[in-house]
Amino acid sequence: MKNNLFYATIIAVVALALGGCSDDATDTQPVPAPAVLMAKIYTLDPEEEGTHWKSGKNVGVYVLKGNTTECVSPYNNVKYQTTVTPEGYFTPAVKEDVIYYPQDGSKVDIIAYYPWKETVADELYPMDVSSQKIAANFSFLYAGNGKGLSSSNQKTTLELRPVLSQIVFDLKPGDGVVEEYLRESEIKISGMNTKADFNLLSGQFEESSEPKDIALVTFAEKDEATNIERNGASAQVLPASSTEGYIVEIKLPNMNRTYYWELTKGTTLLEQSVRYICTARIDLEKIEVVTEVKPIEDWQDGANKEVAAEENRIQQDIESLPVGTLSTITKPFDMLMHTWGFYKRIEDGKTLTAEVEYDETLGRNVIHAKYVSANSWYKYFFAYRTGNVKPTTYALKFKAKGTNSKDIRCYIEGNKDRYITSNALVTGDKYIGYIQFRLTGEYKEYELVFNFARAIVGTASTAFPEGDPKLVETTEDNLKDFYIAFHSQSGGDVEIYMDDISFQEYK
């Protein structure tokens, strides 16, 4: 029923777009057939099944003549957005931009990419994998499966997938080695190209360049089967027709040993959307590596599931937002999950504006907020709503710049009016519900650590000692749903820019 209603909605949009046509024309001309687009999203994690997106995501859509890279005018980088109900559908951001199939019945190909950019020079999307810790570098998804479509295809499901390759190194103890020896490992691969342009029309990478050492990101989770902390690391890298010359270095400080391994022994090439799982058995004097290849095409479709805050890359959500002012919120918990907004009281001479701004130098979206004499923690703040964490410590990492020497406070309110405590004691032996940081004129990295096992009832700005009734353990409600807020602690005018934001369990 929902699908029929949705299709009817699309037809209504078409009717509005054709409102200027005369009644006479309806007898002699066929009614244009709109393309009804659905999407499923796949990741490089085999535990993440194909899921439907909820609202708030923007994709770019192209229509090509069948089996060519020639665009069908005017369907070039058309902005489509996810719907609230039913989930999994896309509609044009502007109603006049509805995509229609050719009336002559000829077949077309429909492709899509995420996150949408207003301008894509020569239809080439730049990729840079040199820094594995910049989340925005790895948000790109592409769907090229919409082949041979025409007006007979009432509904099309586009499969958005990563186009990078993923290399995973899983370290296992061998003869004379215990798990503790493998802790704090440092793994890097030398000789890899780090930059390339992805051709949106062909679905292929152009020539890659800039070889550098790539440092893999250490695992943050435990092995589900054994509940033991996993040892190893992973990286998303550019596909390559040859792995000749790619050298893996595994440094184990707790063993005072460094091992080297040629990647070509495990695989001779790196393909798009494929994981290469290298299980390395570490002996005292040697390593043995077994490589398993898992193409993303083999994974099964699945139902929608909740996204944990630690799994959700906040920067990706920023990338998906349109440039412009964030939504004004009246109640933070009325925001949709995994979205941004800002709250302000109406007072003379005081205000706050917050927006998404495209940074030409960084090549991605950033958050930009400006406080005008607005330094109240509960009257003027911008925030991000998320949830589904454990009662342990988490690190909020980001880069920020702004008005030099001005202070910003960050607090996290869990549902039911409880504020998550800072991981550090203040004023001796007291806990408080915020962390303060000082801005500089250039981007600087920050790490704010919060303890989700404890919360303060009623206020974020007052410190309480152990045993105080206002210092309590967090509840399931607090952990399931919360928002992260930022407010100015300094008087006068204060500006802040935020980039590369992530949220992970603290190690």
pLDDT in tens, 82-93: 875 566 788 898
299 pLDDT more than 90 = no
Residue 28's Cβ-count burial label (10 Å; 0-12, 13-18, 19+) is exposed
Q: Clarify whether residues 94 and 11 are in a common domain.
A: yes
Q: Does residue 304 sit within a domain?
A: no
Q: Does residue 373 sit within a domain?
A: yes
Buried b (16+ CB within 10 A) or exposed e, 237-267: bbbbeebeebbbebebeebeeebebebeebb
Task: Say what the pLDDT of residue 300 is.
Answer: 35
CA distance 112 to 89: 13
Threshold 0.85, pTM exceeds: no
Task: Say what the pLDDT of residue 19 is.
Answer: 42
279: β partners: 170, 290
- Kindly state the average pLDDT of the residues 438-462: 93
Q: Does residue 231 sit within a domain?
A: yes
Helix (H, G, I), strand (E, B) or coil at 281: strand
Q: Does residue 303 sit within a domain?
A: no
Q: Tell me the per-residue pLDDT of 98-135, one tens digit each, with 9 for 90 and over.
A: 999 998 889 999 999 998 998 899 999 999 999 887 76
Task: Say what the pLDDT of residue 174 is.
Answer: 93
- Average pLDDT over the chain reads 84
Q: Are 340 and 57 in contact (CB under 8 A)?
A: no
Q: Clarify whether residues 254 and 320 are in a common domain.
A: no
Q: Clarify whether residues 380 and 415 are in a common domain.
A: yes
Q: Clarify whether residues 390 and 420 are in a common domain.
A: yes
- Other Cβ atoms within 10 Å of 289 Cβ, number: 19
> Which of 160, 175, 203 is the last residue in one of the domains?
160
178 pLDDT more than 90 = yes
- Other Cβ atoms within 10 Å of 150 Cβ, number: 15
Q: Clarify whether residues 486 and 425 are in a common domain.
A: yes
Helix (H, G, I), strand (E, B) or coil at 484: strand
> Which of 298, 327, 359 is the last residue in one of the domains?
298
Beta strands 380-386; 274-282: pairing state: unpaired
Task: Say what the pLDDT of residue 427 is.
Answer: 66
20 pLDDT more than 50 = no
Task: Say what the pLDDT of residue 298 is.
Answer: 39
Task: Say what the pLDDT of residue 64 is.
Answer: 95
Q: Clarify whether residues 373 and 320 are in a common domain.
A: yes
Q: Clarify whether residues 76 and 124 are in a common domain.
A: yes
Residue 2's alpha-carbon distances to 56, 158, 406, 423, in angstroms, are: 19, 19, 51, 46
Q: Clarify whether residues 31 and 142 are in a common domain.
A: yes
Q: Clarify whether residues 232 and 126 are in a common domain.
A: no
Q: Which two tokens stand for residue 58?
A: 């923007």
Q: Tell me the per-residue pLDDT of 180-237, one tens digit each, with 9 for 90 and over.
A: 999 999 999 999 999 999 999 999 998 899 999 999 999 876 655 555 678 999 999 9
Residue 421's alpha-carbon distances to 42, 408, 445, in angstroms, are: 35, 17, 21
Local confidence band at 402 (pLDDT 50, 70, 90 cut-offs):
very high
272 pLDDT more than 70 = yes
Which of 56, 51, 10 is closest to 340 using CA atoms? Answer: 56
Runs of H (alpha helix) within 18-134: 25-28
CATH value at residue 500: 2.60.120.260
Q: Does residue 309 sit within a domain?
A: no
Q: Clarify whether residues 127 and 103 are in a common domain.
A: yes
CA distance 120 to 164: 19
Q: Does residue 109 sit within a domain?
A: yes
Question: Can you give the residue range of the structural domain that contains 108?
Answer: 2-160
> Which of 160, 177, 198 is the last residue in one of the domains?
160
Q: Clarify whether residues 217 and 239 are in a common domain.
A: yes
Task: Say what the pLDDT of residue 16 is.
Answer: 41
Q: How many domains does the chain have?
A: 3
CA distance 221 to 231: 9
Task: Say what the pLDDT of residue 320 is.
Answer: 61
Q: Clarify whether residues 372 and 490 are in a common domain.
A: yes
Q: Does residue 277 sit within a domain?
A: yes
